[in-house]
Chain A
Amino acid sequence: MSNVRVLVGTRKGAFILTADGKREKWDVSGPHFAGWEMYHLKGSPVDPNRLFASQTSGWFGQIIQRSDDGGKTWTQPGTPPGEQTTPEGMPKGESNKFVYDASSESGKPLTTHQWYDGTQHPWEFKRVWHLEPSLTDADTVYAGVEDAALFCSKDGGKSWRELSGLRGHGTGPKWQPGAGGMCLHTVILDPKNPGRIYIAISAAGAFRTDDAGKTWRPINKGLHSQYIPDPYAEVGHCVHHIAMNPSRPDVLFMQKHWDVMRSEDGGNSWHEVSGNLPTDFGFAIDVHAHEPETIYVVPIKSDSEHFPLEGKLRVYRSKTGGNEWEPLTKGLPQSDCYINVLRDAMAVDTLDKCGVYFGTTGGQVYCSADAGDTWAPIVRDLPAVLSVEVQTLS
């Protein structure tokens, strides 16, 4: 029977939740890296026991951690004995070195972006928001960072190089931070086209490369954001998250600041599918593993009130690819619930029936083992959940 492993990043450490395919009885491991903000953990599709984790702190900066045994033990890539060492024989740890490309070779060294007051502001590295392991190589992993840029490691997370074509493609000076900072939070690799990568930035929008990161272009046509000077601008939209079903990589679903959107053509154009949602503000969005027209969102009241409407925690599911939505409430609190579900805190497994998972800022991680029909908490009292990823293990 298959097992599932849920990787949970929280404000005060990481937790690993495991269960068999029934997804009823759970083992909880953690906190790993207690006291650190764990923005994101994700496993390699090539080697599921290889996990990457973003460990960060306002005091001590950014650390990258890697496990090669499914989360039992961790190390900073570059530190295992036997690798490159200092003269004293200690291993070198450079896995946390993220340096923006300002080389003349890149052709367009870009050093400023738009600040809140409209002036230009230097790019400053703060943290890694999202780690996306390669679909084909266990040593290759991408990192979406704040201030927004995309980095890539080809040595298992030990050293990092910026894919500077993204910042340098032309619109970079117009990007500006959202309320949570100017973060590159979404990285999606196209399983059918190795050169195609989608990314999203708050508050710049969505971008795509078709040549493995050398050149990029904005893909925001159809987005409408009333709160920016030009509501249909090429960049400047606060995209919260994008999701894709691997079987149909040209079809994308987006939770924008407001609006749930859909693209049929790899992001070339978008149209709204908010339909009958009670509010179309939110952060998380995901797609059923086996039914590419079934999507999930967690509507949040507004950008000033980051909690569910009426204190009722409801996941909304559309089985029609959007527009027609149904509330999923069984097992979820339907009164006095004022948590939030952040953008990287929803995931699906690939079991049959598809499992859907999400974590809350109140520290709960919920699981539905029946594609959303019913829900149960795996844990109730973790620190605020920043991210949830799921691995289906055979």
Chain B
Amino acid sequence: MIRVVLPPHLRGLARITGEVEIEVIGPATQRSVVDALEARYPMLCGTIRDHITQQRRPFLRFFACEEDLSHELPDAPLPDAVTSGKEPLIILGAIAGG
């Protein structure tokens, strides 16, 4: 199970509280985790990455194990601590706009 922490706005949209546990089939990557997240919570489609381009939205970041993974390739493996469930993948709204 992959643990995912969503920003408050998206937790509200998906009507969930706290962390989400996602089962990913195959290698755990940013893409496969978001795919699984959108499949389970379709109302999140288009909110983390663009509907068409599938690019991460500019003001969203991916963090795990105190590292910014935002610029890793979407198919790069996530850290072992994330795939083992020890650490969560944190999807975070950037501090922007004052």
Contacts and interface: CB of A to CB of B under 8 A. Distances in A.
Nearest to A96: B46
Interface string A31-49: 0011110000000000000
A63 B7 CA distance: 16
Interface string A54-80: 000111111100000000000010010
Contacts of B52: 99
B8 interface: yes
A76 B44 CA distance: 11
B51 interface: yes
A23 interface: no
A11 to B, nearest CB: 11
Contacts of B10: 60
A93 B9 CA distance: 16
Contacts of A57: 9
Contact of B46 (A35, A62, A79): A62
Residue in A35, A61, A88 whose Cβ sees the most chain B Cβ within 10 Å: A61
Contact of A59 (B12, B50, B60): B60
Q: How large is the interface on B (under 10, 10 to 19, 20 to 34, 35 or more residues)?
A: 20 to 34
> Main SS of the interface on chain A?
loop
Interface string A85-128: 01110111110110100000000000000000000000000000
Residue in B8, B52, B96, B97 whose Cβ sees the most chain A Cβ within 10 Å: B52
Interface in A295-330: none
B47 interface: yes
Contacts of A91: 42
Interface string B8-42: 11101100000000000000000000000001111
A239 B43 CA distance: 35
17 contacts: A33-B12, A35-B9, A57-B9, A58-B96, A59-B60, A59-B93, A61-B57, A63-B43, A79-B43, A87-B39, A90-B40, A92-B42, A93-B44, A94-B45, A96-B45, A96-B47, A97-B45
Interface of B: 7-10, 12-13, 39-48, 50-52, 57, 59-60, 93-94, 96-97
Interface of A: 33-36, 57-63, 76, 79, 86-88, 90-94, 96-97, 99
Given A91-B42, A92-B45, A96-B51, 10 more contacts: A57-B9, A59-B7, A59-B60, A60-B13, A60-B60, A62-B46, A79-B43, A86-B42, A93-B44, A94-B42
